[in-house]
Chain A
Amino acid sequence: MGHLITSEQIAIDGEQLTSAPFKRAKQILGIIAIIGTIISFAILFFATDSLQGTFAYSWLFALAYALTIAIGGCFWVLLHNLSNSGWGVSVRRLMENLGFVFPFLGILCIPFLFPDVQQYLWEWMTKHRATGVDMFSSNPSRLFGFWGGQDLIDALFYKHEALLAAKAWYLNVFSWYTRFIFYFVALGWVIYRLRKISVDQDTDPKPGVARLFQARAFSAAGLPILAITATFLAIDWFMTLNYTWFSTMWGVYIFAGCALHSMVVIILTAIVLQKNGYLKNVVSPEHFHIMGKLTHVFVIFWAYITFSQFFLIWYSNIAEETMYFTLRNTAGWYWVSLTLTFGHFALPFILLLPHWMKKNVKYIKWVCVYLLVLHAVDMYHVIIPQRGPSLGLILGDDPVLWFGGIQAVFLDIFALLVVVSGFGYFYLRNLGSVNLYPNRDPRILESANLSN
């Protein structure tokens, strides 16, 4: 218990991120992102088939990394508002800014809207298109094709694609596009509104509790939208890379990664900002302690969900389900799986056990950096193993079970670098455009004097 923070120590107009190094960092990230995105789009649309296909997976992997973290940011905002939390008011703006990266990431997802790119990632789309049936249906009882038209189902049966016919009520091109747009519009709107409610408070000459209740009520409506987005985005984009495979725990598995790694990013942001002289009066080791505990909780939750998914599939031993893990326990992927088991669970679990580890920024920052690297491994493990078999079939090459040729790894790293730069640019832009903490929130002093 240090000295109490009083309202004199909270700047009336709040803190703004205006320093020169920050602006330079934003500029550099923006330039890397723009040049990198142009090169990436060129590869995705104009390169040779093999390169195009390989890079489509790289791009999806990089976006999986960025999108999960942004969705997690939205989750923490919603949870914070909904649970009426007082502890995190000091860091709530970081969550809001992190979540608000999500709608901007839609720009980087544009290539996925084109059949040129889709054909390498989602074979079921190619098969749907090969039937020649229009994706819209005239039947209103099938929601004009949103639930898959009868023509489409008949055509798929005719092509001996019984599995796709059975799944057509969900898995069809029209509903895929509809959901794609829904994710960015709906969750984007939720996080935009919540951030706006919060930011408007900063300049209100008579700040009250009205916005607090407004944000809480709106979050109650927003949480189902987040759940739908996280679950179905994970299914639409990652699970159906192999349309014959399914897992009922897939959505929650991806969500566990979202919540964990966005909290890690929030901790790192708070550390970097404090190091540069911001958030000094409002964020204390107590906040890092709580955020460290939440990170620890989600390290366990991630392991619990990931293992449960593996365990149920391993036990029941049904070929349609085991293929995911058969692929990932073969050749070099076996070592990636083991790395995740020990590196993504066992090591951080032990590292985050002692309380001084969570409270002291000297230690927790290294754990956070480490976890972010492991998140890349996790997403790599989700997306990339499918590349060898899929491209092998589509392009007629021999299936490649390992990384798909050594040059492919560099493409993956390049894609990750570009997308993370873009992510960083949007994040810094969000951080720089508003106050760093909600200085007129009624509970800012409660949060600044946190003790747990």
Chain B
Amino acid sequence: MSKEAKIYGYLAEFANAQEIYHAAEKIRDAKYSRWDCYSAFPIHGLDAAMGLKRSKLPIFVLCGATLGFITAISLAYITQVIIYPTVVQAKPANLFTIPAFFPIMFELTILFSGFTVLFGVLGLMKLPCFHHPLFNSKQFSRVTDDGFFIAIEAADQQFSAEATRELLESIGGTNLEVVYDEVVEEVQSKA
């Protein structure tokens, strides 16, 4: 095995949704932070079992919405009242024109929120991601069918080659595998 291949982490398979749920609780209690569960379908309550904190996305979206709101009100007010007062159908050209600005305020608030949601999600999930080290594992392809996997990253503070493997084995992990950042065969052939 080449020394160039960096270890991504451990991958362990679990028998069913129930086992992966309880395994997740134990890994959470062992204070790991950089790890994830993989399954073909959403498992209710798994986020709590993993000890996942609430996403920061709502805060970003609130900022985006506020920004959109302020943009809209300034855009409408500055152009329609300050720079070029537009008098239509005897409507006032001052702050009381505000009902006419509501659709713009509404739309821009939604638009900016939508953009923040889209780009916030992409940013927080580190997407687009063209390749993931876990795809190097042959058995991992079963995750889209009937496999339940937990991967603990080597980048985790708690990670140790011995203790982490023992933990995964003790909580029922089978087919334990070390996953490398690059495909191992390629590295070996180079060496």
| Known contacts A317-B89, A317-B90, A451 near B45 by CB under 8 Å | yes
Task: State whether the Cβ of B99 lies closer than 8 Å to any Cβ in chain A.
Answer: yes
Among A311, A355, A451, the residue within 8 A (CB) of B102 is: A311
Q: With A1-B44, A317-B89, A451-B45 known to touch, is A307 a contact of B102 (CB < 8 Å)?
A: yes
Q: Are the C-beta atoms of A451 and B89 separated by less than 8 Å? A: no
Q: Chain A's interface: helix, strand, loop or mixed, by majority?
A: helix
A451 touches B44 (CB 8 A): yes
Task: Choose among B45, B49, B54, B99 the residue that contacts A310 (Cβ–Cβ < 8 A).
Answer: B99
Give the residues from 92 to 146 in chain B that come closer than 8 angstroms, CB to CB, to chain A: 99-100, 102-103
Cβ–Cβ contact B90 & A314, under 8 A: no
Nearest chain-A residue to B49 (Cβ)? A1
Q: How long is the Cα–Cα vector from A307 to B106 in the complex, in angstroms?
A: 12
- Tell me, rounded to whole Å, the shortest Cβ–Cβ distance linking B41 to chain A: 14
Q: Once bound together, how far apart are the Cα atoms of A314 and B96, in whole Å?
A: 12
Q: How large is the interface on B (under 10, 10 to 19, 20 to 34, 35 or more residues)?
A: 10 to 19
Determine the distance from Cα of A78 to Cα of B105 in the docked complex, in whole angstroms. 35
> Is residue B48 within 8 Å, beta carbon to beta carbon, of the partner chain?
yes
A114 contacts chain B at the CB level, 8 A cutoff: no
- CB–CB A311/B99 < 8 A: yes
CB nearest to B88 among chain A residues: A315
Q: Please give me the residue from chain B that is nearest to A354 by CB atom.
A: B58
Binary CB contact string for chain B from 80 to 93 against chain A (1 if under 8 A, 0 otherwise): 00000000011100
The interface bits of chain B over 24-65 (1 if a CB of A lies within 8 angstroms of the residue's CB, else 0) are 000000000000000000001100110000100000001000
Contact of B89 with A1 in the complex, beta carbons under 8 Å: no
Q: Are B99 and A1 in contact (CB under 8 A)?
A: no
B90 partner residues in chain A, CB cutoff 8 A = 317
Task: Looking at the assembled complex, report how far the CB atom of B121 sits from the nearest CB atom of chain A, in whole angstroms.
Answer: 18
B residues in contact with A355, CB < 8 Å: 54
**The residue from B44, B48, B54, B100 contacting A315, defined by CB atoms under 8 A apart:** B100
- CB proximity of A305 to chain B, nearest CB, Å: 13
A450 to chain B, nearest CB (A): 10
Query: CB within 8 A of A1: which of B45, B100, B103?
Result: B45
Chain A residue numbers with a CB within 8 Å of B45 are: 1, 451
Complex contact A314–B48 (CB within 8 A):
no
Shortest distance in angstroms between B89's beta carbon and chain A's nearest beta carbon? 5
Given contacts A317-B89, A317-B90, contact A1 B102 (CB under 8 A): no
Give the distance to chain A from B110, nearest Cβ to Cβ, in Å.
Answer: 11
A305-321 to B contact mask, C-beta < 8 Å, 1/0:
00100110011010000
Complexed CA–CA distance, A353 and B44 (Å): 24
Measured CA separation A1–B100 after assembly (Å): 47
Shortest B38–chain A CB gap in Å is 19
Q: How far is the CB of A103 from chain B (nearest CB, A)?
A: 39
Q: Which residues of A contact B49 (CB under 8 A)?
A: 1
Chain B residues near A311 (CB-CB < 8 A): 99, 102-103
Q: Which of A1, A310, A317, A353 meets B48, CB within 8 Å?
A: A1
Contacts of B44 in A (CB 8 A): 1, 451
CA of A317 to CA of B92 in the docked complex: distance in angstroms?
13
A317: B residues at CB distance < 8 A: 89-91
* Shortest distance between the CB of A292 and any CB in chain B (Å): 15
- Mark out the residues of chain A between 272 and 312 whose CB falls within 8 Å of any chain B CB in the assembled complex: 307, 310-311
Least Cβ–Cβ distance between B19 and chain A, in angstroms: 16
User: Which residue of B has the minimal Cβ distance to A451?
Assistant: B44
Residue of A nearest to B54 (CB): A355
* CB of A6 to closest CB in B, whole Å: 16
> What are 10 A-B residue pairs whose CB atoms fall within 8 Å in the complex?
A1-B44, A307-B99, A307-B102, A310-B99, A311-B103, A315-B89, A315-B100, A353-B62, A355-B54, A451-B45
Chain B interface residues toward A at CB < 8 A:
44-45, 48-49, 54, 62, 89-91, 99-100, 102-103
Q: Sort A-B residue pairs by CB-CB distance and give the 6 closest, nearest first.
A: A1-B45, A451-B44, A1-B48, A314-B99, A317-B89, A311-B99
- Taking A1-B44, A310-B99, A451-B44 as known contacts, 7 extra A-B pairs with beta carbons closer than 8 A to each other, sorted by chain A number, are A1-B48, A307-B99, A307-B102, A314-B99, A315-B89, A353-B62, A355-B54
